[in-house]
């Protein structure tokens, strides 16, 4: 799962949602240096990643990516799953996608002073370019993958895998709709256990 799915799965607590985003930017042990709800959101992000990687839909999808793309299959699936969530948003959320995203962008600005560099850049750029909302358009994924590929020390032409996502789209969509309700159930259970609903 990528940014949008992690925000959705973080629940309604604004700090937990910020943590849901920061899980992609903060690695290593959490030392109590951030507000506790943000650290809970980061922890939930990590738990969701571990749980997701064990699901049969994800493992089957990874197997379908042949070399050289298999080693990047996790990235390809994360981006594709965010697209599938955005494209089918009304099935999973009663708010409009744009309202949800705009609210989160506003929330994030309240925490700019504690954001690591990458998240700070997201905070500045995302509202201007409708970063999260753009996941709803499948064609945008090619550009997103190209940008991600440029971030590697040795750039990787990830966008060249876009036709594979196109080819597998019906199956990926079917698997997503099987998988995502399970992730919702898992994340609700985790949030209940840590009182972060």
pLDDT band at 129 (very low <50, low <70, confident <90, very high): very high
pLDDT tens digit string along 67-85? Answer: 899 999 999 999 999 999 9
* Of 100 and 196, more confident: 100
> Number of structural domains, the chain?
1
Enclosing domain of residue 142:
3-193
pTM tops 0.85: yes
Distance CA 28, CA 44 (A): 14
- Number of H-type helices and E-type strands within the chain: 10, 0
pLDDT, residue 177, reads: 98
Q: Is the pLDDT of residue 156 over 90?
A: no
Model confidence over 13-34: pLDDT tens digits? 999 999 999 999 999 999 899 9
Does residue 107 carry a pLDDT above 60? Answer: yes
Q: Strands, E, within 33-99: which ranges?
A: none
Phi (first) and psi of residue 58, to 5 degrees: -70, -45
Composition of the chain by helix, strand, coil, percent to 5: 75, 0, 25
**Count of residues in the chain:** 197
Q: Is the dihedral of CA 188, 54, 50, 156 positive or negative?
A: negative
Whether pLDDT at 151 is above 90? no
Per-residue burial over 160-178, b = 16 or more CB atoms within 10 Å of its CB, e = otherwise: ebbebbeebeeebbebbee
């Amino acid at each position: 799962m990528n940014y949008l799915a992690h925000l959705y799965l973080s629940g309604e607590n604004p700090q937990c949602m910020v943590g849901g985003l920061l899980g992609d930017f903060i690695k290593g042990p959490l030392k109590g240096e951030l507000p506790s709800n943000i650290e809970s959101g980061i922890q939930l992000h990590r738990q969701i990643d571990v749980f997701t990687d064990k699901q049969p839909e994800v493992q089957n999808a990874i197997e379908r990516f042949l070399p050289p793309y298999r080693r990047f299959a996790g990235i390809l699936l994360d981006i594709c799953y965010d697209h599938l969530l955005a494209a089918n948003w009304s099935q999973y959320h009663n708010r409009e996608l744009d309202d949800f995203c705009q609210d989160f962008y506003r929330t994030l600005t309240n925490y700019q002073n504690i954001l690591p560099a990458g998240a700070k850049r997201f905070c500045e750029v995302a509202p201007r370019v409708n970063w999260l909302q753009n996941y709803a358009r499948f064609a945008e994924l090619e550009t997103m993958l190209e940008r991600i590929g440029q971030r590697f020390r040795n750039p990787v032409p990830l966008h060249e895998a876009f036709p594979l996502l196109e080819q597998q789209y019906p199956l990926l969509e079917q698997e997503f709709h099987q998988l995502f309700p399970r992730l919702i159930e898992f994340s609700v259970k985790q949030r209940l256990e840590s009182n972060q609903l």
